[in-house]
Every structure is written in C-alpha cells, then in structure tokens.
Amino acid sequence: MDQNELKKAVARAAAQYVKERLDDRMIIGVGTGSTANLFIEYLGEFRDDIYATVASSEETARRLKALGIEVMDLNAAPEVSIYVDGADEANKYLQLIKGGGGALTREKIIAAVAREFVCIADGSKMVDVLGTFPLPVEVIPMARSYVGREIVKLGGDPVYRDGCITDNGNIIIDIHNMNIVDPRTLEQQLNQITGVVTNGLFALRPADKLILGTKDGLRTLT
Ligand code: 5RP
C-alpha cells in the first residue's frame, strides 16, 4: 500500500469507530489535512446520522458543509465526544507534532475540549524522538522577530513560513533542528513566550488513541 492508501485505511477505521459510537446528540470534532480530508469523505457515507461537527479550520468546515454535514460553532457545543485528526509526527506516548497545515491553534482547542482524541496517521509519522518535522508555532504578527530570538535561546532555528496567514490572522514560525527529548517542557516554554498563540506540540494533551497505518496492517496504540 502506498502512503495515500494507508491514510485511507486509517481514515476509514476512524469513521467506523465514530459510527459505532454515534448517538442522536453526538458532536464530532474534525481535524485538518489530507488524512482528515479522507476521514471527512467517509463521514459523508453516513451524513444523515450525524447530528453535528466542530471544525478545526475554515477548509474543514467548507468540506463538511459541502457534504451537507452540520458544522457548529465550538462555543455552542456543550461537549465534543470524539475528535479525529492527523499528525505530522507521533511518538509511542501519543505525543504529537501538528500544524503542518497551519491549523494548530484550532486543533489544540478542539483537542482540549474533546472527551476522546483519536489521531490517525500513516506509519511514516511514527518517530522515536519528535522534532525531525519542523515544529510550527502560531505567532501574533508584530511579535515575529521577538519570538524568533526567544526560540534561538531555546536552541531551535526559527523559519518564517512565507505567505502563510492562519485562520486566526496570525503567522507561523517553524522551528527546525530541535531534538525534542522533553516535549511537555518545551510545549510549556514556548507557550510562555509573549506573542506566541500556540505551538504544535500536543504533549500536555496527547492523543488518547493512535490508529497507525503500516504495511502490515492497522495498529492501534492507546
Ligand atoms: C494540520 C495538521 C495535520 O493534521 C498534519 O499536518 C497532518 O497532515 P496530513 O494528514 O496531510 O499528513 O496538523 O494543521
């Protein structure tokens, strides 16, 4: 199976997992990216049974609405039962790097609210140590240079993501060359920098379940 087929397999498995747990008031959190897009397509197969969703990006909201699936404002959602999203990297503790698609802040908010966070990824995303994938940080535009200097002090190489404006009107700095041996501490340190909105480490709130697509089949880690 190629990478896209692995993504389809995990997306299908996650949709099945959600379908088996549906009730008539269940609100589903939906992530962003190519794997999440495949998940959305599978949700479309039982759209009439879905009460509502919350979306982690404008693009995801657009895709859900195009299928006729209700998208709620998170503030109107009393709870989010299951949040399904992809990742750029994952370790065996289900800590993640996310935000390759720039949607990290809304993703992190939905992950915080969700009772269960199911991450779906092809096997290439599994790593021993996070940080080969550049770590995205969403930053208020006027703080760009200051945040960059603070990131250097933490040992990373900040690179401005050219031409990327997030759904929240902010910029992204990607941190290169960080060997992230203590993801929880780094997540907190980055959050402490004034001007940082969020960073793409999901370590303080990791996934609850990781469905991984490998050439030997699906593996579920909890
Ligand atoms: C978007 C994300 C995505 O989940 C992450 O980039 C993985 O994307 P893909 O499924 O396309 O590999 O965090 O902000």
Q: DSSP letter string over 120-147? A: EEEGGGB-SSBTSSPEEEEE-GGGHHHH
**Across all residues in the chain, what is the average pLDDT?**
97
Instruction: Spot the catalytic one: 5, 79, 107, 116.
Output: 107
At 59-69, the pLDDT tens digits run: 999 999 999 99
Neighbour-count burial for 87-102, b at 16+ CB within 10 Å, e otherwise: bbbbbeebbbbbbbbb
pLDDT at res. 118: 98
Give me the percent of the chain exceeding a pLDDT of 70. 100
Residue 102 Cα, ligand 1 centroid: separation in angstroms? 8
pLDDT at res. 176: 98
42 phi and psi, to 5 degrees? -70, -35
Place 147 in a pLDDT band, splitting at 50, 70 and 90: very high
Known catalytic membership, residue 107: yes
Structure tokens at 58: 């404008």
- Residues that constitute the known binding site for substrate: 32-35, 85-88, 98-101, 125
Atom 5, ligand 1: residue with shortest CA distance: 87
Residue 105 Cα, ligand 1 centroid: separation in angstroms? 13
Our answer on whether the CB atom of 206 is closer than 6 Å to any ligand 1 atom is no
Our answer on whether the CB atom of 32 is closer than 6 Å to any ligand 1 atom is yes
Q: Which pTM value belongs to this model?
A: 0.95
Structure tokens at 51: 């009460």
Mean pLDDT of 158-179: 97
Is the pLDDT at 151 greater than 90? The verdict is: yes
Is the pLDDT at 31 greater than 90? The verdict is: yes
Our answer on whether the CB atom of 134 is closer than 6 Å to any ligand 1 atom is no
DSSP H helices, 31-172, are 34-44, 58-66, 104-113, 144-153
Mean pLDDT of 127-152: 98
Indicate which atom in ligand 1 lies nearest the CA of residue 35.
10
Q: What's the rounded Cα separation, in Å, for the pair 148 and 8?
A: 37
pLDDT at res. 215: 86
Place 93 in a pLDDT band, splitting at 50, 70 and 90: very high
Indicate which atom in ligand 1 lies nearest the CA of residue 103.
14
Mean pLDDT of 171-187: 97
Our answer on whether the CB atom of 11 is closer than 6 Å to any ligand 1 atom is no
Q: Which of 35, 106, 165 to mutate to test the pocket of ligand 1 (most atoms within 8 A of CB)?
A: 35
Its sign, for the CA torsion 218, 52, 102, 112, is negative
Atom 1, ligand 1: residue with shortest CA distance: 101
CA end-to-end distance (rounded Å), the chain: 24
